[in-house]
Amino acid sequence: MRRAAEGLGAVVAGTVTALLGLVLLPALPFAGRPAVRRAARRLAALEARRLRVGLGHLDERAPRYLAARVPLGLLGGLVAALLGYGAATAGRAAWTWGRGRPVDGMAPGAPLIAYFCLAGLVLLFLNVSGLVGVHALERRLAARMLGPDPTAALRHRIAELAESRAGVLTAVDAERRRIERDLHDGLQQRLVALSMLIGRARRGRPELLAQAHEQAQQALAELREVAWRVYPSGLDALGLADALAGVAERAGVPVAVVCDLPGRPPAAVETATYFVVSEAVTNAAKHARATAVAVEVRGHGTMITVRVRDDGAGGADPAGGGLSGLARRVAALDGRFTVASPPGGPTVIEAELPCG
């Protein structure tokens, strides 16, 4: 019933705009004039809002659309008028028969009332179907003549995918360079020092074995850290909530994590969520001088929302290497990534990832 009422209102509104288009129709041959062009654009934009369709380039399409939809709008008005006439006739018959008086010489009786009720229901069904059909035709016509060009939309989508692919490749290369730098500047130097300590211990300095053991433990810890940045092994075995708990433990600042998901998301979404949180927490601890970080991961229908907020100094650059890499990673999954970081803080990083 609600859908029928909405359809009736939309068709009646379409009839009004069709009559306005009929008034404007004689001026359409002069659509090159600014006043006529503005009026056609406004009326077409009003139609697009009424029918909830996207808009393309209106300068050339609007006059043709207004001319094409006049017959359809008048047809909708005729269907709506028949519905109104039928409702008025049924109301008059019910009022007159209810008072015991005949209608057009027909006295009320059970067979006659049953016949009219059945006929009225059939006509009502046909009329409502006509309203729904007219409304659907209006939407189809508007989408075809006012909506974006399908070829242009496809080209835009191809360009987006190509840009996302290039961004992912850039992010992968940047991550490889960072891993190489971590290995070269940290782990490799520590292993060199360890080798020298072991060599000196073998030449008669057994007291250096304790230092060698400590260096080995530190090298192992750094190796684990680098491996976790490449891909967290616990993510597959333990799930996202435990992996994020591990991020909080290693952060160096207090991190409150809320992970409220109805089920386990796809692996790609889960991995992207982990890296968004991990990078945001790392930035908060190392660069923003934050004293507290709040992480929220929640599921809403077919979307996962990730929100990381810190109380640091702010001023994070969304175009920086780490954040831009996260943006490209999220974009590759058709997600949305935003960074709000005014000077003085707080910094809020949000990502929305489709998982349906």
What's the pLDDT tens digit per position in 164-206?
666 665 666 566 666 666 666 666 677 677 777 677 666 666 6
Mean pLDDT to the nearest integer, 111-115: 78
Handedness of CA 144, 146, 151, 154 (dihedral sign): negative
What pLDDT score was predicted for residue 306?
A: 94
* CA-based R_g, the chain, Å: 34
DSSP designation for 287: T
- pLDDT of 23 above 70: no
Provide the β-strand partners of residue 336.
Answer: 352
Q: Give the residue from 38, 46, 42 showing the smallest Cα distance to 10.
A: 46
For residue 131, give Cα distances in angstroms to 46, 117, 120, 125, 264: 20, 21, 16, 10, 44
CA distance 171 to 179: 12
Residue recorded with tokens 């600042």: 253
Mean pLDDT to the nearest integer, 304-326: 85
What pLDDT score was predicted for residue 286?
A: 82
Q: Is 160 helix (H, G, I), strand (E, B) or coil?
A: helix
Phi and psi angles of residue 102, each rounded to the nearest 5 degrees, phi first: -80, 155
pLDDT band at 1 (very low <50, low <70, confident <90, very high): low
Residue recorded with tokens 């043709």: 64
**Fold designation for 234-356:** Heat Shock Protein 90 (3.30.565)
Mean pLDDT of the chain: 77
Q: Are 277 and 298 in contact (CB under 8 A)?
A: no
DSSP designation for 304: E
pLDDT band at 60 (very low <50, low <70, confident <90, very high): low
What pLDDT score was predicted for residue 258?
A: 92
Phi and psi angles of residue 53, each rounded to the nearest 5 degrees, phi first: -120, 155
For the chain, the structural domain boundaries read 2-148, 149-230, 234-356
Q: Give the residue from 250, 264, 255 showing the smallest Cα distance to 222.
A: 250
What pLDDT score was predicted for residue 350?
A: 93
The percent helix, strand, coil of the chain (3-state, each to 5) is: 70, 10, 20
> Rounded to the nearest 10 degrees, how much is the dihedral formed by the CA atoms of 119, 125, 131, 132?
-170
- pLDDT of 305 above 90: yes
Mean pLDDT to the nearest integer, 98-117: 75
Window from 135-139, 163-167, 271-275, 331-335 with minimum mean pLDDT: 163-167
CA distance 22 to 229: 66
Helices (H) and strands (E) in the chain, counts: 11, 5
What pLDDT score was predicted for residue 263?
A: 84
What pLDDT score was predicted for residue 171?
A: 64
Q: Is 94 helix (H, G, I), strand (E, B) or coil?
A: helix
pLDDT band at 304 (very low <50, low <70, confident <90, very high): very high
CA distance 167 to 160: 10
Q: Are 44 and 61 in contact (CB under 8 A)?
A: yes
- pLDDT of 32 above 70: no
Q: Where are the alpha helices (DSSP H) in the chain?
A: 2-24, 34-51, 58-98, 110-146, 150-182, 189-202, 209-230, 233-238, 240-250, 267-286, 321-331
User: pLDDT above 90 covers what percent of the chain?
Assistant: 7
For strand 293-300 and strand 255-260, is the pairing parallel, antiparallel, or unpaired? parallel
What pLDDT score was predicted for residue 297?
A: 93
User: What spatial distance separates the first Cα and last Cα of the chain, rounded to whole Å?
Assistant: 31
For residue 22, give Cα distances in angstroms to 67, 73, 164, 213, 255: 8, 10, 47, 90, 65
For residue 78, give Cα distances in angstroms to 138, 190, 216: 15, 86, 87
> Rounded to the nearest 10 degrees, how much is the dihedral formed by the CA atoms of 55, 57, 58, 61?
-100
Q: Give the residue from 66, 84, 85, 79 showing the smallest Cα distance to 133.
A: 79
- pLDDT of 345 above 70: yes
Question: Angle formed by the axes of helices 321-331 and 150-182, to 10°?
Answer: 140
